[in-house]
Chains A and B, each alone.
Chain A
């Protein structure tokens, strides 16, 4: 076989793979849309014993937007993994149904944000044609990430809502720059760690009996992380601080393969958690409420307790969509939407949501594993870590497995910044997946 023949053969294989993957994606999308439409109709029947009046615009949002994203995949990332978009659409749609069931006005806004998110997704696919583009501007992304993080602290634009200073107002639009900052910093970490991972992985420096890499190699990253953590402590956004720490530790460890980073990270985390607990009353409150929410059932423990009551009330099979007792839990459309889903869809529905996130994480890690390019691989790990652990942190907080720290449930919770950021994140995973499949399609075709 000549070189040209081989290249042509490769092109044919890639094309076939792309066709098959997009067909799979479309099929899964249709399934997701059916599930969402069914839930929407049931929720409306449960609430007012009639089919929803706005079923047509709803179908427009739920069907048209994912189909649009699907068409964008066909055009801009034909060989990407077919699981990402249907899973995101399912979670997004389910979240939309429950937001609509809780508050019709918010549902309208969420539909708008979904549209913005999908356009952000398509725009990202168009702009980022090659992952190396991200690698090239890694320091720019680092700077952007840091700037986005400090923005809420700037006088004039920063806003404090519900005790957390994580909002920025520009004219009539308010958003949380922290959501986008996470992605920018994940790109920066991936780029930086790929540059330095050989050096970071080799122990050249001895402190007593412990071998560690030369401090100067991971000083910048420590500075970046420390800086971000401090900012987030001042912004009182503990959930994001925790997520950020996990992101940093996981990426460092995956890049270098050195367990000592994990150990140091856990140690560092424990120490800083303890310090935060001693220093900040709002951290103490979170821990107290976690250990015994019934110490203040109608005050600080109210939210967690009502969440637990909602879940317990749902039982195994749930009350049915629209038949739960909504409007009892503060922030039930954002941080606590998982409790509402658990009440109305029961253990089965809640477990389905867990599985959806687990599948999303699995797909992301599979992309990371298949990719032969270290930067792509590490970036995929970082982005997957962001989604998987953000979902875990808020779910664990709601069910009192961890202290409650307010972050949104990706794709499900109400919130424009989170939705747009997560769709952009998804687009990056899709881009990496597509690029990886183009380069090495053979093992994928074999299945």
Chain B
């Protein structure tokens, strides 16, 4: 029998060796693939059972933190300021996933980045864990000014530093309380989320960067940039006719100035008065499609801004105006859709922009034509306060040449000193702006009220660029934008430039 017993021993050994090989396959070779499977929730479970870093404002105010709770999940996310930073921090829910900074900087908040782990190792004997705090570029007082100024209106405010791309404030109304959605006891959270998803006003979406609207007359800055860049428009030429309306080629429908006003002149004059007729004519006859498309895309249209937040919307400028119809002497070639092109010149038709995008247009003018990558993170800090990483500022777009940016900068300042944005004037500061009233309909008259602006100490480079959009306000006159959006922008500028 001994021979059989020996063979049996070998067979048992082979069986166990096969099990050992299979274990290696599961636990080592394919472990990553198993961990990454979508229905495998172990990674989330782990994250919810570990401490998670805070999200703090530039001043150190806590926007999001983790509190210990006694339940299956050891930690619960809390947002002390409620809805104030909701659209930036996002929410962090076991049941419903995460958005915003919570999602984009998840690795930093949970301490899984190499730099944070290295830092933890260096403090090996100190009792500390590796999770990191995300320091935002947002400033609490400016964010609060934006919220208070917007009041009960639907709309949004974006303020950023044109030199770096730091987002200083970003608020959107209506909003939501991330505390409720992040609750670990999921039933209520799911119910609230379902309700918010179904709400027609879409409170979960940030109007600042996830929704787009007709930019209206604020887009005239892009049209002007297209004119300057193509050398067909200068400070003194052309001198557009003073008219009540302009009728593009191939159509009989006129594009009217607001309230039937007579409007026209050279670049600064038509910017100050926001002449629809002149900018429509500039787009359709002076420039044509190609310079317009080029300028819009140079400003960031038709591309998602590389902001460090989830799902930014792409601002849209049309790229197809049909086939060539004629090439008149001394004017831009005429295309089938030249009437539409004329409307895009004043930010209507198929042009749609996020408030963030329009703030970047103003920032480009303020920063010598260069648009920096917009971002909300400034630093990653370890728990002991050591800075383990900071955001490396980088340019995103060159929207125009520094010379042309200087012309437009003066042009926009003249809109504040002598034009529709006079409400923005702040003594001791150079403020430039452009209003916009994107008409939605005339019965009843409704429009999005816009204003974009930049400001800085007199004689120095601007330190802040702002876009304010108030959605669907009553009225559609030329002054609506300045009247409704102007005071909001002014309060935000004051909070940013004159703290205390």
Contact = CB atoms under 8 A, between A and B. Distances in A.
| Chain A to chain B: the 10 pairs with minimum beta-carbon distance, closest first | A312-B34, A312-B31, A254-B4, A347-B27, A401-B22, A311-B26, A365-B9, A399-B22, A325-B45, A388-B12
Given A328-B42, A342-B23, A346-B27, 10 more contacts: A253-B4, A309-B35, A309-B37, A312-B26, A358-B13, A377-B1, A378-B1, A392-B16, A399-B19, A399-B26
A185 B34 CA distance: 42
Contact of A385 (B3, B8, B19, B39): B8
18 contacts: A308-B26, A310-B42, A311-B27, A313-B42, A325-B46, A351-B20, A354-B16, A354-B19, A354-B20, A365-B8, A381-B1, A389-B12, A396-B15, A396-B18, A396-B19, A399-B22, A401-B19, A401-B22
Given A257-B1, A315-B28, A354-B16, A399 B40 contact: no
B124 to A, nearest CB: 17
Interface residues of B, number: 33
Contact of A357 (B16, B27, B31): B16
B14 to A, nearest CB: 10
A381 B19 CA distance: 22
B19 A369 contact: no
B24 interface: yes
A232 interface: no
Interface string A303-319: 00100111111111000
Interface string A226-254: 00000000000000000000000010011
Q: Which of B4, B31, B37 has the most CB of A within 10 A?
A: B4
A401 B25 CA distance: 11
A400 B26 CA distance: 10
A174 B46 CA distance: 38
Contact of A314 (B1, B19, B27): B27
Nearest to A388: B12
A297 B9 contact: no
B9 A342 contact: no
A391 to B, nearest CB: 9
A358 B27 contact: no
A378 B8 CA distance: 12
Contacts of B27: 311-312, 314-316, 342, 346-347, 350
Most buried by A among B9, B27, B30, B31: B27
Interface string B22-58: 1110111011011101011010011001000000000
A399 B22 CA distance: 7
A298 interface: yes
Contact of B23 (A255, A358, A378, A399): A399
B5 interface: yes
B9 A361 contact: yes
A369 B18 contact: no
**What does DSSP make chain B's interface, helix, strand, loop or mixed?**
helix
Interface of A: 250, 253-255, 257, 297-298, 305, 308-316, 325, 328, 342, 346-347, 350-351, 354, 357-358, 361-362, 365, 368-369, 374, 377-378, 381, 385, 388-389, 392, 395-396, 399-401
Which of A310, A314, A399 is most buried by chain B, counting CB atoms within 10 A of its CB? A399
A297 B39 contact: yes
B2 interface: yes
A308 B25 CA distance: 11
Given A313-B42, A347-B28, A392-B16, A254 B9 contact: no
B16 A358 contact: yes
B109 to A, nearest CB: 20
Given A316-B27, A342-B27, A354-B19, A298 B39 contact: yes
B35 A313 contact: yes
B40 A309 contact: yes
B18 A309 contact: no
Given A311-B27, A312-B35, A254 B1 contact: yes
B293 to A, nearest CB: 48
B482 to A, nearest CB: 57
B1 A255 contact: yes
Contacts of A401: 18-19, 22
A255 B34 CA distance: 45
A354 B21 CA distance: 12
Contacts of B26: 308, 311-312, 399-400
B329 to A, nearest CB: 69
Nearest to B9: A365
B34 A351 contact: no
Contacts of B19: 354, 392, 395-396, 399, 401
Contacts of A316: 27-28
Contacts of B42: 309-310, 313, 325, 328
Contacts of B39: 297-298, 305
A305 B40 CA distance: 9
Nearest to B43: A313
A352 B207 CA distance: 57
Output the residue of A253, A308, A346 with the most chain B CB within 10 A.
Answer: A308
A308 B22 CA distance: 11
A399 to B, nearest CB: 5
Contact of B4 (A257, A325, A396): A257
Contacts of A325: 42, 45-46, 49
Contact of B8 (A254, A399, A400): A254
Contacts of B49: 325
B15 A392 contact: yes
Contacts of A309: 34-35, 37, 40, 42
A378 B42 CA distance: 47
